[in-house]
Structure 1
Amino acid sequence: MMKIKLWPDLVDWPMEVSVVGDVITINGEDIDLSVIPEGFRLPGSAVGNKFFVEDEYVERLNGVLYLTLRLPVDWNSPEKYRNPPEPIILDVSAGQVNFPDTTPPAPPVVELPVIEESNQEEAGNGGLEQA
């Protein structure tokens, strides 16, 4: 079992993650965390993968691995993912990790009004009046 805390980061890295036992696979790279014994922790920087947050720890407590991964966001991703009020934590036991969809919303479609051209013959001189 892993508890993955997500750290929003303004990067455009693709990320595909799965978990089997104590092995987390990120974009095809297997990272075996079984070397971390109960009650111990390892700095994220020691893992050697850019998705692990360097200043956070990977630790095992009560048989659960706790780790922090970068969550790629865009400058206009939903606010709840760019700057969450509470940390986003995923509980993962096995399989594909489903991350929140941080895709920016589509810009609204604005219908512009149709401007009808006036008939030049009706206006005569284009609406100008002689002073």
Structure 2
Amino acid sequence: MKIKLWPDLVNWPLEASVLGDVITINGEDIDLSGIPDGFRLPGSAVGNKFFVDTEFVERIGKKLHFTLRLPVHWDSPEEYRNPSEPITIDVRSGPVKFPDTSPVVILAAELPEIREGQENGGLEQA
């Protein structure tokens, strides 16, 4: 399967695995074996919220091609929120390894301890 990813600002968990022409998304089996070579159907016909309604599910040769929504956050890495080229994953069998779209964590600098009763936070004039 060739899966194109469509970044979408949603708060949905996404786990998937592939076995033959069946993709399991968050525990729901979606059997795409009925799509013959050279045919396609709209993503909306699949009936799963992760399939992009306006994109097609199609078989080219023996490989299925389709587009799934990739959940991102407002503070996910820029390359996943707004990729310059579509992100495509080629999956033969097993778990689908989606990019880690977790928000970027920036560690705060450690601030000095301020004790009660200290003027100016304990700073001294030079």
TM-score by length of 1: 0.85
User: Where does 1:73-92 land on structure 2 (aligned, <5 Å)?
Assistant: 73-92=72-91
- Corresponding residue number in structure 2 for 1:129: none
C-alpha separation in 2, matches of 1:14 and 1:115: 41
- Corresponding residue number in structure 2 for 1:29: 28
- Corresponding residue number in structure 1 for 2:110: 111
C-alpha separation in 2, matches of 1:95 and 1:113: 50
Deviates more, 1:99-108 or 1:65-74: 99-108
- Corresponding residue number in structure 2 for 1:38: 37
Please identify the structure whose Cα radius of gyration is greater. Answer: 1
Which deviations, in whole Å up to 9, do the C-alpha atoms of 1:66-103 show, x marking residues without a partner? Answer: 00000000000000000000000000000000100000
Identity of aligned residues (%): 69
| 1:52 matches 2:51 | yes
C-alpha separation in 1, matches of 2:57 and 2:113: 60
C-alpha separation in 1, matches of 2:101 and 2:17: 18
Count residues with an aligned counterpart. 117
**1:109 CA displacement:** 1.1
**1:113 CA displacement:** 4.3
C-alpha separation in 2, matches of 1:45 and 1:17: 19
SS of residue paired to 1:8: strand
C-alpha separation in 1, matches of 2:51 and 2:2: 13
SS of residue paired to 1:80: helix
Structure 2 counterpart of 1:111, one-letter code: E
SS of residue paired to 1:4: strand
User: Where does 1:92-131 land on structure 2 (aligned, <5 Å)?
Assistant: 92-113=91-112, 117=118
* C-alpha RMSD over aligned residues: 1.3
Structure 2 counterpart of 1:32, one-letter code: D
C-alpha separation in 2, matches of 1:60 and 1:98: 21
